[in-house]
């Protein structure tokens, strides 16, 4: 079964590294920019647009989501990554779980379809990671956390025990979410923030965190 990475950006190269660390070499990368066809991404050829996938049946190929995101105060920036996953998943294409070889994932943690766990990540017991979630480089997801579908836990972020993250939320690089805190769906946490209290759906929390004094 061949594996194709969708969208030849910076995140795709990180995904390719994770795959190579497990001895899996993707056969191709797709990109909607036709000018990039024929060039390489992470040592893998860019062979055509995403639509080329449709020439293959869902049981002939597996896919990896190579699209990252750029969060802002008003948006997690995750919708394009989510749409790419949903579009092909709805047609029956499979997105395997990808874990870099240099990760620690507890034996009873669960990883949803297409979850990506990058180098240096630690995921502790009974953590539940949803579909198409990106747990990025060196992030920590402590015991009993639940991370909803399509979230991005950015590099170096720490979710302490029992944190709940609603779907499509972005936890910025190096942020710390204290034990038992809930983040609503689509919430955006700035890089470096310390989150001590629950965050409403769609809300933005700056790097000073949500202290009240
Ligand atoms: C907080 C954040 C969402 C704001 O994004 P934005 O709405 O596009 O805002 P801007 O980048 O235009 O920054 C606005 C101001 O806030 C400052 N700022 C941005 N992010 C900051 C942060 N995390 N901590 C402190 N200050 C920050 C900027 O320096 C800028 O200051 P200025 O107005 O004095 O020039 C974004 O900076 C952030 O932290 N994103 C997470 C990044 C991340 O985790 N990436 C992972 C990639 S793998």
pLDDT digits (tens, 9 = 90+) for 105-139: 999 999 999 999 999 999 999 999 999 999 999 99
CATH number of residue 203's parent domain? 2.160.10.10
Of 67, 84, 116, which residue is a domain's last?
67
Please give the number of the atom of ligand 1 that sits closest to the Cα of 206.
1
* 42 CB-near residues (< 8 Å, 6+ apart): 12, 13, 16, 17, 29
Please give the number of the atom of ligand 1 that sits closest to the Cα of 11.
48
Of 67, 88, 118, which residue is a domain's last?
67
Residue 170 a catalytic site member: no
Splitting the chain (213 residues) into consecutive groups of 10 residues, what average pLDDT does each group show?
96 98 98 92 96 95 98 96 98 98 98 98 98 98 98 98 98 98 98 97 89 59
CA-nearest of 21, 16, 20 to 30 is 16
Ligand 1 centroid–CA 88 distance in Å is 32
Beta-bridge partner residues of 141: 123, 159
* 78 CB-near residues (< 8 Å, 6+ apart): 69, 71, 150, 151, 152, 168, 170
Asked if the structure places residue 86 within a domain, the reply is no
Residues 119 and 210 occupy one common structural domain = yes
pLDDT at residue 210, as a whole number: 73
205 vs 53: CA distance, rounded Å: 38
Write down the pTM of the prediction.
Answer: 0.96
Ligand 1 centroid–CA 178 distance in Å is 21
Ligand 1 centroid–CA 104 distance in Å is 30
Asked if the structure places residue 76 within a domain, the reply is no
Residues 203 and 103 occupy one common structural domain = yes
18 vs 117: CA distance, rounded Å: 8
47 in Cβ contact with 79 (< 8 Å): no
Asked if the structure places residue 73 within a domain, the reply is no
Instruction: Please pick, among 11, 100, 143, 170, the residue that the annotation labels catalytic.
Output: 143
What residues make up the domain containing 210? 97-213
Residues 115 and 212 occupy one common structural domain = yes
Q: Which residues line ligand 1 (CB under 6 A)?
A: 71-73, 136, 154-155, 172-173, 188, 190-192, 207
Token couple for 133: 């979630």
For ligand 1, atom 5, the nearest C-alpha belongs to 72
The label of the residue with tokens 């990039």 reads 36
Residues 104 and 209 occupy one common structural domain = yes
Ligand 1 centroid–CA 43 distance in Å is 32
Residues 172 and 122 occupy one common structural domain = yes
pLDDT at residue 34, as a whole number: 87
Residues 51 and 128 occupy one common structural domain = no
CATH number of residue 40's parent domain? 3.40.50.20
Asked if the structure places residue 91 within a domain, the reply is no
* 69 CB-near residues (< 8 Å, 6+ apart): 76, 77, 78, 80, 81, 152, 170
Residues 197 and 129 occupy one common structural domain = yes
Of 67, 85, 116, which residue is a domain's last?
67
């Amino acid at each position: 079964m061949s594996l194709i990475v969708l969208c030849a950006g910076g995140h795709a190269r990180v995904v390719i590294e994770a795959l190579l660390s497990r001895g899996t070499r993707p056969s191709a990368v797709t990109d909607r920019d036709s000018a990039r066809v024929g060039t390489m991404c992470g040592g893998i050829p860019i062979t055509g647009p995403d639509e080329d996938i449709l020439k293959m049946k869902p049981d002939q190929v597996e896919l990896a989501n190579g699209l990252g995101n750029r969060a802002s105060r008003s948006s997690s920036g995750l919708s394009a990554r989510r749409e790419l996953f949903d579009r092909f998943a709805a047609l029956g294409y499979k997105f395997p779980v990808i874990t870099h070889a240099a990760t620690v994932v507890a034996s009873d943690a669960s990883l949803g379809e297409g979850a990506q766990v990058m180098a240096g990540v630690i995921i502790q017991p009974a953590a539940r990671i949803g579909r198409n979630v990106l747990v990025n480089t060196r992030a920590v997801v402590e015991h009993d956390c639940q991370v909803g579908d399509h979230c991005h836990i950015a590099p170096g972020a720490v979710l302490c025990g029992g944190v709940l993250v609603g779907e499509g939320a972005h936890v910025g690089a190096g942020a710390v979410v204290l034990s038992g805190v809930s983040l609503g769906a689509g919430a955006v946490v700035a890089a470096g923030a310390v989150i001590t209290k629950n965050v409403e759906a769609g809300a933005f929390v700056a790097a000073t965190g949500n202290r009240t004094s």
